Each structure stands twice: as structure tokens, then as C-alpha cells.
Amino acid sequence: MTKNTQLSTFFVGQLFCGIEIENVQEIIRYQEMTKVPLAPPVVAGLINLRGQIVTAIDLRLRLDLGRRSLDELPLNVIVKTSDETVSLLVDDIGDVVEVKAEDFETPPNTFTSHIRHLVRGCYKLKERLLLFLDIEEIVSC
């Protein structure tokens, strides 16, 4: 019997991405951020999540997709990693998708070497390709 996995999905640019549902704490609308001096460009800032200070990582920059326009506000996908809570800034939210282990494929060769380690693999769905992101690698910027 193969194990199915549930992924919480979202859009980053034209990419359809997902992470394991167990890692998602909540999804919230855009929050004002405090910039962090000398932080890497992918760190958009810090948000206050009900008294907890959370680092916001811009997935567009992390995946080398460029900055979003100033009139586009991202959404926050609040995720728990093995040792911290982080906000991933995404463009739009998808659904929870259940994928089968036998449909898993390694990352496409078209990904550049500095992006390739951020993607565990992909799933070919009927309508599009779903990239399965490695949350621990995403937050280790």
C-alpha cells in the first residue's frame, strides 16, 4: 500500500508549489513588516504574530523569480520547521492536494543548481506541475 501525502499549495509567480500540511500553522493576509538591517535580500522583514516575532521570507526572491510589483501584496503562509516559526510570502493560495508516493519525481533538470536544493521533487497533476518544496532548505537562508 502506498502512502498518500497532503500538501498545502500556493502560487509563487507562475509556479504551483506545495509543502506538507503538517508544517502549515496558518495562512494570514499581508502584515506590515519591520525591515532587518544587513539581512539577506530574501528576508523581507519581521512580523508580529500575536506577540511572537516571526521572520518573513519572500519566496519569489528565494526561488529567483524577481520582486513582485509594489501594488501586489503577498499572503503569509505561517510554517513550523524543526526549530522555528517562519512566514513564507506567497502570491496566492491554492488548495490542499493529496498526492501519491508513486507519482513523485525528482526535480526537473531545468532548475539551476542554486534553486534545485529547495525543491524535493514534483508531482504531475492533470492540470499542472506541483513543486514539492523542502521547507527546511527554504528557511535556511
Per-chain mean pLDDT for the chain: 91
Q: Evaluate the CA torsion angle 106, 107, 112, 113 in order and state its sign.
A: negative
Amino acid at 74: P
Task: Tell me: pLDDT of 138 over 90.
Answer: yes
**pLDDT at position 60 over 80:** yes
pTM above 0.85? Answer: yes
Least confidently predicted of 76-80, 126-130, 132-136: 126-130
In the predicted model, is pLDDT for residue 112 greater than 80? no
Q: Give the pLDDT of residue 22.
A: 95
Domain with 10, as residue range(s), is: 4-139
Residue 45 has pLDDT above 80, yes or no: yes
- Under the phi-then-psi rule, with left for phi > 0, alpha for psi from -120 to 50, and beta for the rest, what region is 82? alpha
Task: List the CATH number of the domain containing 24.
Answer: 2.40.50.180
Q: Measured between alpha carbons, how far apart are the two ends of the chain, in Å?
A: 37
Q: What is the pLDDT of residue 2?
A: 61
Instruction: Say if residues 51 and 65 touch (Cβ distance below 8 Å).
Output: no
pLDDT of 80 higher than 90: yes
Say if residue 113's pLDDT is above 90.
no
How many domains in the chain?
1
Contacts for 141 with CB less than 8 Å, ≥ 6 apart: 40, 42, 43, 57, 62
Edge-to-edge order in the sheet of strand 85-90? 24-28, 75-80, 85-90, 52-58, 43-49
